[in-house]
Amino acid sequence: MNAHVQGCAVSAAKEAAPDPVRRENGQREVFCGLTGIVWLHRKIQDAFFLVVGSRTCAHLIQSAAGVMIFAEPRFATAIMEEKDLAGLTDANDELDRIVTQLIARRPDIRLLFLVGSCPSEVIKLDLSRAALRLSQTFSPGVRILNYSGSGIETTFTQGEDACLASLVPALPPLGTSEDQLLVVGSLADVVEDQFVRMFDALGIGPVQFLPPRNSTSLPAIGPNTKFLLAQPFLADTARALEDCGATRLSAPFPLGVEGTTAWLRAAADAFGVKNATFVSVTQPYRARAVRALARYRDELAGRRVFLFPDSQLEIPLARFLSRELSMNLVEVGTPYLHREHLAEELKLLPIEVALTEGQDVDLQLDRCRAARPDLVVCGLGLANPLEAEGMTTKWSIELVFTPVQGYEQAADLAELFARPLVRRAKLVI
Ligand code: SF4
């Protein structure tokens, strides 16, 4: 960890990561990767997501999108009927017909993702071949790619990973010998704009983003690309970028003041930014964010929090909750533990933290009930039953929908955890 960081606790990081990690391999309670469409379709403004799935898949994305007030119809489901599943029709012909119809009706679509689901995988519908075939018909006007959002053995944020990984082969080569920074992972536009201003002030730029806001501005990549992950769930995307010669900058994730500072610092160091410049650019933001966090620390300090494995954001969140808000971590579950990508985060967790990778939901619920934490961070499926048992919950999916990265969002992130406790206190009165 970088020793230059000032005004935050990074320099106090331990070298050892918490160990041992409990591993569970039982029943899971998670959404599938189709959920990622809800935020990806807002981010890439000329993209369309066509799920090739069942009525269940259609219901899932419609109800997940219903969480958002301004959802636009840039996703749909090509519903497979029983005769498709029984192999009585040629699903490829049907798919070609639907895509042709869709592109004729929606000339604004420049990038079409065919999104696989459990049913399309069960009947082994080869969407990569379909994407190739359809690309020949519709390129260069429309680029057609595919990825899987299937829920078999996955968790919901893997949908974004699969989507971004499918974009990597379409990225143009970087035509410069100068190092260039690429930020990888969906960020709300407002957060992206803040980071652009910050990188500009540091003298790092132009910075590119994956996913881009528009498919016509795909970032270029090559051996001079240095990339920062903005999200902790992008293992496949990172591997695909590294296969193209890009280098990942190791850093914690930009959640909270400490995470944001260390994340920016990783880029600053890689691009030779002087320490004095770094401090003078970041200090006012840091000071403001620390002040904004103070009132939430008063509310949350000493409260006990239990994080079920769901979004893959759990480890950076646990670091933020324990180090910046003084919350006590009862258990921190994560669906997968990518030790390399999370190395800088793991160093910042309390050494005695109870970490769990994977899930056996019944056992985990037993531990949660026995511990009676003040706050439970979990998926929608567990939240209602736990609330009915008198526990206070926070939906982890909200953390992916809400702008939470960066200095200016640090207090908003804290508020997401304080709000359910305040609500519960009011209900009790
Ligand atoms: S992809 Fe699978 S898990 Fe997801 S909604 Fe469709 S059937 Fe359900």
CATH label, 11-28+296-426, candidates 3.40.50.1980, 3.10.20.30, 2.60.120.960, 3.40.718.10: 3.40.50.1980
On the question of pLDDT at 127 being above 80, the answer is yes
d(CA 152, CA 343): 27
> Kindly report the CA angle at 391 between 389 and 397, in degrees rounded to 5?
115
Amino acid code (one letter) for 59: H
The mean pLDDT of 31-55, rounded to a whole number, is 92
Q: Which of 317, 316, 314, 261 is nearest to 284 (CA)?
A: 261
Instruction: Write down the number of H helices and E strands in the chain.
Output: 17, 14
Residue nearest (by alpha carbon) to ligand 1 atom 3: 151
For the domain covering 180-278, report its CATH number.
3.40.50.1980
- Residues lining ligand 1, Cβ inside 6 A: 32, 34, 53-54, 56-57, 60, 117-118, 149-151
Residue 182 C-alpha to ligand 1 middle, in angstroms? 32
- Which of 54, 77, 156 should be mutated for ligand 1, with most atoms under 8 A from CB? 54
pLDDT at 270 over 80: yes
Q: Which residue among 117, 123, 147, 380 has the greatest number of ligand 1 atoms within 8 angstroms of its CB, and so is best to mutate?
A: 117
Residue 4 is predicted with a pLDDT of: 31
- Please name the residue whose Cα sits nearest to atom 5 of ligand 1: 57
User: Tokens 């039982």 sit at which residue?
Assistant: 26
Positions of CATH 3.40.50.1980 in the chain:
11-28+296-426, 33-154, 180-278
Any idea how long the chain is?
429
Looking at 14-28, 163-177, 241-255, 269-283, which range is the least confident one? Answer: 14-28
The tokens for 11 are 């320099």
Q: What's the CATH number for 33-154?
A: 3.40.50.1980
In this prediction, residue 25 carries a pLDDT of 83
Cα within 13 Å of Cα(313), Cβ side: 28
More confident residue, 84 or 282: 282
53 Cα nearest atom in ligand 1: 6
The mean-pLDDT minimum among 238-242, 249-253, 371-375, 384-388 falls in 384-388
Extract the tokens encoding 197.
Answer: 């201003």
From 90, 106, 92, select the one nearest 49 (Cα to Cα): 106
Task: Give the nearest ligand 1 atom to 119 CA.
Answer: 7
362-388 pLDDT, tens digit each: 999 999 999 999 999 999 889 999 999
Separation in Å, CA 208 to CA 196, 253, 407: 9, 17, 20
Atom of ligand 1 nearest to the CA of 59: 5
Q: Which of 67-76, 232-241, 399-408 has the lowest mean pLDDT?
A: 67-76
pLDDT of residue 423: 83
DSSP-derived secondary structure letter, 216: G
Taking the model in full, what pTM does it have?
0.92
Task: Give 86 Cα–ligand 1 centroid separation in angstroms.
Answer: 18
Ligand 1 centroid from CA 112, angstroms:
20
Residue nearest atom 6 in ligand 1 by C-alpha distance: 57
